[in-house]
Structure 1
Amino acid sequence: MNSDMIGNILAYLGQGGIVMIPLILCSFAMWALILDRMFFFSRLERKDIALHALVRILDRDPASKCLVPSEAKGPRAHLARHVLSHRTKDCKVNKRIVDQCCMAMVPGLERYLASIAVFAAVAPLFGLLGTVTGMITTFDVITLFGTGNAKAMAGGISEALVTTQSGLVVAIPGFFMSALLFRRSHAAKNRLEEAAIILKRRL
């Protein structure tokens, strides 16, 4: 990215006025959380154990505590490792251990998703705020100079349009990524629930 392109971007953002500052901060915060969750779910899916592997672990030696590979970091692996380490001879207690572990893991699978959705929803509101402030500026110019000074009116109109466009540019991919991450979170919770059902049946 050369200096001319950076200058053009800064000039464009400058047309939006003071409202562009919280809008830019909102965008950075939203994408930081999106990238964090994308890497998180990718890591869980890549390093988790399959259901058939979980069944083999339980069938091979149910009393062992070290059958889950150490490199496995997914929800199924964590659940199996926790249950095998804390299991008792009481079947009801073991089922409660499974439920307790699942309940403790669910908040981690849903972390930051609500914040991402809020940032995506707030962005167009900042754009709307910029629209309002831009139109107020335009009307102030009309009050002072009338409608004959098009150059003076252009600043307020530019502020209104730039902030509206920027708010939509932030919000549209934000809503898309939010829906995608909610779907991946739901899939991870389904995998965890499947593992919990298998563990309850075999403990």
Structure 2
Amino acid sequence: MLWLIEELESIRRFLGMGGDVLMMLFVLTLLLWVLVIERYLYFFTEYPKLIKKTMADWDARADKLSWNAKKIRLAMISEVSLSVNRGMPMIKTLIALCPLLGLLGTVVGMVSVFDVLAVTGTGSPRAMASGISKATIPTMAGMVAALSGLYFSALLEKRANRATHQVSDSLQH
């Protein structure tokens, strides 16, 4: 239990060094990972049920060759595609926002550095250190969050495309 308290304290210190922008980035990254985990849970729990239902609905049809049947097949494939891609635009948007928020942290930190310079009138490194940390830490955190999210987003997108093609191939004409 003591190690958990120590870890939470180190996270709190890290967030404090980066300023308010790092806290916003933390919330954004948390939301990103909630959405990514939700998509993975979907593929392990709901997706197999959807495939079984779609295949059963298609197999229950007597007519599979008419123009209407082909359009119904396309509609079924589209429903599966929409279902497996749900949430992906939001994930991609959050990934794009992470580095931008990190750059905002850079700007806020540099403004803090210039405030210190304006007040003290000297280039004291000790006085500028907190502003420099507020400038660099959010940038690093934004890039790390975006890169890790980008990797898992690409895996999810590949999985969604594979699922759509699998359904398309499985529904016989």
Instruction: Give the TM-score of the pair, scaled to structure 2.
Output: 0.89
Structure 1, residues 104-147: CA drift from partner, whole Å, max 9, x if none? 22111111112111111111111100001100110111111123
- The one-letter amino acid of 2:114's match is F
Q: Mind listing any 5+ residue stretches in structure 2 that lack a counterpart?
A: none
Alignment match of 2:65 (pick from 70, 91, 99): 91
Q: Which residue of 2 aligns with 1:136?
A: 111
1:138, 1:156 within 8 Å by CA — same for their partners in 2? yes
Q: Mind listing any 5+ residue stretches in structure 1 that lack a counterpart?
A: 48-72
1:11 Cα shift? 0.8
1:193 matches 2:155: no
Identity in percent: 31
Q: Which residue of 2 aligns with 1:8?
A: 10
Distance 2:167 2:64 in 1: 22
Distance 2:127 2:43 in 1: 51
- The one-letter amino acid of 1:91's match is L
**Which structure carries more helix by proportion?**
2
Instruction: Give the TM-score of the pair, scaled to structure 1.
Output: 0.77
Alignment match of 1:155 (pick from 115, 130, 151): 130
Distance 2:155 2:83 in 1: 17
Distance 1:32 1:138 in 2: 35
- The one-letter amino acid of 2:144's match is V
Distance 2:83 2:32 in 1: 18
1:97 Cα shift? 2.1
Larger radius of gyration: 1
Structure number with the bigger relative contact order (C-alpha 8 A, sep ≥ 6) is 2
RMSD: 1.9
- The one-letter amino acid of 2:9's match is G
Q: Mark the CA change 1:13 to 1:89 in structure 2 (over 3 Å): closer, same or farther.
A: closer
Distance 1:30 1:156 in 2: 27
Q: Mark the CA change 1:192 to 1:89 in structure 2 (over 3 Å): closer, same or farther.
A: closer
Q: Which residue of 1 aligns with 2:38?
A: 36
1:43, 1:74 within 8 Å by CA — same for their partners in 2? no
Helix, strand or coil: the match of 1:147? coil
